[in-house]
């Protein structure tokens, strides 16, 4: 594939030191689950109000380099009629877009799924580019269950889908974020999580290379490596840092532009603590930062509660939460 230097410019902006990416890309259904935390109905007006708080808080540009949007939100506007993507761009924050269409059961593979969304993706990217998106995200789901789950076959087919997405994104001038999420839910040990995450990322990058994706114009969004949420021995931050970096050194080529973390079911506090521990391990071959969703949004939702009079308070909580994760990404928390 021909090199596109604009991809590298976008990558550099997204991976600016001390900044991270807000993953505000919940589907309308998942956004409803967020709103339910503060007893708000899942209505377009409530989704719009919450996202406007997230995107218009003074000072977020100091800590956020990018925001991942959903199809409905990249088409949405502030109360003043300004497109959300323009609001972000005006602050020097790069708009992104989630483009996968969720998962379906993988026939013949119990408990495993495959991600959908390649149909008409080139046309969708063309439209999203015109709407302001300069990077994108595609998620694959890796469940850990019995010894044979996940299978190499399920990881491979998802990796092929991911590689095709990345090809199409780069052809459209959009930086692909590839997200192989190893699910935190379960009773698996830290050692099992490390083995599965390492194998998953190895297969993914081997596939990306096989399909000639430009790794210098691509970002990995990874789970942290930690024991399942039901395991009797919950992982310390230092253990998470060591296991996660061992995994990366075994699986991520140095050509990869950078790595961002999903919070993946962890509490906001634990996500930040683990990020800080990883950063304290010192400089790595890749820039490493955060791309959190619930870990950033949950404190803001609680501060807002759906009340107009709480909007300024919620914005201050957002900026402070982003600042804490910024410090953690530098190992300075």
Active site positions, annotated? 179, 221
Is the Cβ–Cβ distance between 21 and 13 less than 8 Å? no
**Tokens for 76?**
């949405």
**Tokens for 105?**
């059961």
**Tokens for 214?**
């430009």
The DSSP bridge pattern shows strands 113-115 and 103-105 to be antiparallel
Query: Cα(189)–Cα(119) distance, rounded to whole angstroms?
Result: 37
Kindly report the backbone phi and psi dihedral angles of residue 75, in degrees, each rounded to the nearest multiple of 5, phi listed first: -95, 0
The alpha carbons of the chain give a radius of gyration, in whole angstroms, of 19
Query: Cα(228)–Cα(186) distance, rounded to whole angstroms?
Result: 5
């Amino acid at each position: 594939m021909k090199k596109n230097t604009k991809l590298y410019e976008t990558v550099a902006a997204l991976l600016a030191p001390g900044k991270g990416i807000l993953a505000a890309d919940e589907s309308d259904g998942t956004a409803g689950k967020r709103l339910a935390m503060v007893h708000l109905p899942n209505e377009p007006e409530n989704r719009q109000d919450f996202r406007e708080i997230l995107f218009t808080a003074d000072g977020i540009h100091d800590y956020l380099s990018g925001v991942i949007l959903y199809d409905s939100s990249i088409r949405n506007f502030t109360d003043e009629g300004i497109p959300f993507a323009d609001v972000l761009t005006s602050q020097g924050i790069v708009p992104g877009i989630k483009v996968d269409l969720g998962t379906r059961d993988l026939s013949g593979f119990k408990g495993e799924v495959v991600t959908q969304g390649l149909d008409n993706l080139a046309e969708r990217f063309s439209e999203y580019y015109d709407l302001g998106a300069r990077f994108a995200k595609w998620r694959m789901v890796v469940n850990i269950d019995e010894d044979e789950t996940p299978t190499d076959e399920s990881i491979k087919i998802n990796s092929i889908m991911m590689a095709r997405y990345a090809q199409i994104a780069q052809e459209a001038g959009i930086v692909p974020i590839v997200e192989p999420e190893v699910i935190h839910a379960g009773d698996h040990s830290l050692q099992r999580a490390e083995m599965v995450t390492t194998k998953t990322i190895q297969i993914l990058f081997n596939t990306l290379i096989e399909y000639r994706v430009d790794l210098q114009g691509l970002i990995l969004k990874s789970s942290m490596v930690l024991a399942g949420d039901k395991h009797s021995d919950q992982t310390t931050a230092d253990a998470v840092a060591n296991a996660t970096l061992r995994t990366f050194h075994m699986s991520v080529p140095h050509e990869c532009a950078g790595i961002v973390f999903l919070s993946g079911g962890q509490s906001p506090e634990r996500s930040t603590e683990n990020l800080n521990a990883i950063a304290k391990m010192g400089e790595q071959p890749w820039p490493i930062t955060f791309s959190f969703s619930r870990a950033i949004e949950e404190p803001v939702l609680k501060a807002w509660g759906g009340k107009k009079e709480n909007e300024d308070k919620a914005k201050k909580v957002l900026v402070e939460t982003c600042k804490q994760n910024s410090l953690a990404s530098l190992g300075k928390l």
